[in-house]
Amino acid sequence: MRMTVIGTGYLGATHAVAMAELGHEVLGVDVDQAKIDLLSAGQVPFHEPGLSELLGKHVATGAVRFTTSYEEAGAFGDVHFIGVGTPQKRNGHAADMTYVDSAVEQISRAATHDCVIAGKSTVPVGSAARLQELALTSAPSGTRVSLVWNPEFLREGHAVEDTLRPDRMVLGLEYDDAGRPTSAAQAAEAVLREVYAHQLEAGIPFIVTDYATAELVKVAANSFLAIKISFINALSEITETVGGDIRTLADAIGLDERIGRKFLNAGVGFGGGCLPKDIRALRARASELGLDQSLRFLAEVDDINLRRREYTVQLAVQECGGSLHGTQIAVLGAAFKPESDDVRDSPALDIAARLHSMGADVRLYDPQANANAAQRYPRLDYVASLDAAVTGAQVTLLLTEWREFRDMDPRHVASLVGTPTIIDGRNVLDPAAWQDAGWRYLALGRRH
Ligand code: UDX
């Protein structure tokens, strides 16, 4: 089938390549000419394991191409996926729909034949119904544009496998007043079933529902993940006071299948382009709907998460004798999680910037994210290796759990630092091994 993917960031670029891998002809669309040039040359503008190999393969055969032209896209595609961003608004917590609105309007206007628009971006509930109206009013007369909502659940660092082999796929359709899919929606569902035929044959669950449910699945899933992380981090505050081991606690409750061990890793908390923004946007949307009370607790989830950053900063201050002025601090990690170069709302970078603003000389090393971090906070001292970061440091903070950091040899690192004090902000090191090598080992969720 011929399809376009509008927006070629993490979500869109991965989706475009995955669709080519499923055997479709794909045209990626973006307003950013530089990004389009890179992708057309088979280069991925961000770090995502496995993506550049797959992109190279499909660019070479012509299965995937890229353009900035909506005219070209409108003439080409029978299905148009929308994968543009919905960042947090500057003046509040709601999601900014400017890019989604513009993409839907422009592709509808450029459509030369009947087509389906499939929204993948994370949007406030109620958006799809409004966007279907926008598509209808923007499309040339006689051209039918049907809109479905098809949220994306990919994790950065695992984007390719998550897109090709997701846990589930969700499709939101326009319903009539009697609560049934309209005939246009049923036709659109058939088109999407064809797009995903291979995955459906492989038995991936396909949940077909109304617009609102489909929109909510995404933000509900991300909010639940955020709740799990903040829950264990709230318990960290308790174990820090009374003693106890947060990792063993997580292991023990996680063995209850109803709870599960995943997303119970205590540490500096969640960041990135999704979890923080999604809990805020969901809460903001609930307030708009007059339901402020329903999701008020998400504000607490956000607060617990941000408190972890402050606590980590305070630990470092305490280890430096109460003031950071003139101290040298090693920060390991800037990305919001390993296997990604994304520094959006990254706890690691936020903590590093705060330490710097309090007078510390911060030497930061991240295996992939130094360049993105430097764009955001140019005043930190970015170094090209782990050894360079730790040499002479008074305190070393591990804030993103890259394998390179998990595998550090405590004796080797001890031979480089000024003072062997480490704050394990992700609870990934073996305390005994570090203590045996002469370190003062501190971790979040433990009494010191
Ligand atoms: C998330 C969702 O997982 C994904 O399904 C959705 O499509 C987009 O948002 P992502 O933002 O890529 O994906 O990262 P994720 O792996 O969920 O991690 C989010 C943050 O939580 C990271 O900062 C990570 O370090 C942190 N985290 C995760 C914890 O602090 N503890 C954990 O136990 C798990």
Q: What is the DSSP letter of 292?
A: G
Tally of domains within the chain: 2
> End of a domain among 159, 180, 204?
204
Query: Can you list the positions of beta strands (E) in 1-151?
Result: 2-6, 25-29, 64-67, 79-82, 115-119, 145-149
My answer on whether 301 and 422 are in the same domain is yes
| Helices 297-319 and 211-242: angle between axes, nearest 10 degrees | 40
Cβ count near 241 (within 10 Å): 9
Alpha-carbon distance of 102 to 243, in angstroms, equals 53
Kindly give the confidence (pLDDT) of every residue in the chain, 448 residues in length, as a single tens digit, with 9 standing for 90 and above: 999 999 999 999 999 999 999 999 999 999 999 999 999 999 999 999 999 999 999 999 999 999 999 999 999 999 999 999 999 998 899 999 999 999 999 999 999 999 999 999 999 999 999 999 999 999 999 999 999 999 999 999 999 999 999 999 999 999 999 999 999 999 999 999 999 999 999 999 999 999 999 999 999 999 999 999 999 999 999 999 999 999 999 999 999 999 999 999 999 999 999 999 999 999 999 999 999 999 999 999 999 999 999 999 999 999 999 999 999 999 999 999 999 999 999 999 999 999 999 999 999 999 999 999 999 999 999 999 999 999 999 999 999 999 999 999 999 999 999 999 999 999 999 999 999 999 999 999 988 7
| Structure confidence at residue 431 (pLDDT) | 96
Distance from Cα 198 to the centre of ligand 1, integer Å: 27
Are residues 165 and 234 part of one domain? no
User: What is d(CA 257, CA 254) in angstroms, rounded to the nearest whole number?
Assistant: 7
Identify the residues whose C-beta falls under 6 Å from ligand 1: 153-156, 222, 225, 229, 263-265, 267, 269-272, 274-275, 336-337
Ligand 1 center to residue 228 CA distance, Å?
Answer: 11
66 & 181 share domain: yes
Question: Binding site annotation covers 76?
Answer: no
Name residue 169's beta-bridge partners.
206
The answer to whether the annotation marks 263 as part of a ligand binding site is yes
Domain boundary among 144, 172, 204: 204
Amino acid at 223: S
Please identify every residue annotated as catalytic: 274
Kindly state whether residue 209 falls inside one of the protein's structural domains: no
Distance separating alpha carbons of residues 250 and 254, to the nearest angstrom: 6
Q: Which residue is closest in CA terms to ligand 1's atom 25? A: 337
Residues 192 and 222 in one domain: no
Q: How far is the CA of 443 from the centre of ligand 1 (A)?
A: 20
- The answer on 244 and 160 residing in a single domain is no
Q: What Rg, from alpha-carbon coordinates, does the chain have?
A: 24
Give, for ligand 1, the residue of 337, 344, 399, 400 to mutate: max count of ligand atoms closer than 8 Å to Cβ: 337
Sign of CA dihedral 40, 67, 190, 84: positive
Residues 6+ apart with CB under 8 A from 387: 416
Residues 335 and 274 in one domain: yes
Distance CA 301, CA 228 (A): 9
| Span from the CA of 271 to the centroid of ligand 1 (angstroms) | 7
Q: What is the pTM of this model?
A: 0.96
Per-residue confidence (pLDDT) for residue 446, from 0 to 100: 87
Residues 192 and 331 in one domain: no
Q: How far is the CA of 306 from the centre of ligand 1 (A)?
A: 15
Which atom of ligand 1 is found nearest the CA of 346?
23
Question: Is residue 46 a known part of a binding site?
Answer: no
* Residue 212 falls inside a structural domain: no
Domain boundary among 154, 174, 204: 204
Which residues fall within 8 angstroms of residue 113, CB to CB, at 6 or more apart?
Answer: 78, 143
Same domain? 162 vs 269: no
Residue 421's pLDDT is what?
Answer: 98
Domain span including residue 354: 217-448
Pocket test for ligand 1, best of 15, 150, 155 (most atoms within 8 A of CB): 155
Q: Specify whether the backbone of 7 is left (phi greater than 0), alpha (psi in -120 to 50) or beta.
A: left
In ligand 1, the atom with minimum distance to the C-alpha of 263 is 33
DSSP type of residue 273: S
Beta strands per DSSP E along 174-231: 206-210
> Which ligand 1 atom is at minimum distance from the Cα of 262?
33
CA distance 95 to 100: 11
Known binder of ligand: residue 156? Answer: yes
300 in the Ramachandran plot: left (φ > 0), alpha (ψ -120 to 50) or beta?
alpha
**pLDDT reported for residue 447:** 82
Residues 222 and 195 in one domain: no
The residue contributing the CA closest to ligand 1 atom 3 is 155
| C-alpha span between 275 and 233 (Å, rounded) | 15
CA distance 352 to 362: 7
CA 308 remoteness from chain centre: 19
What is this model's ipTM? 0.98
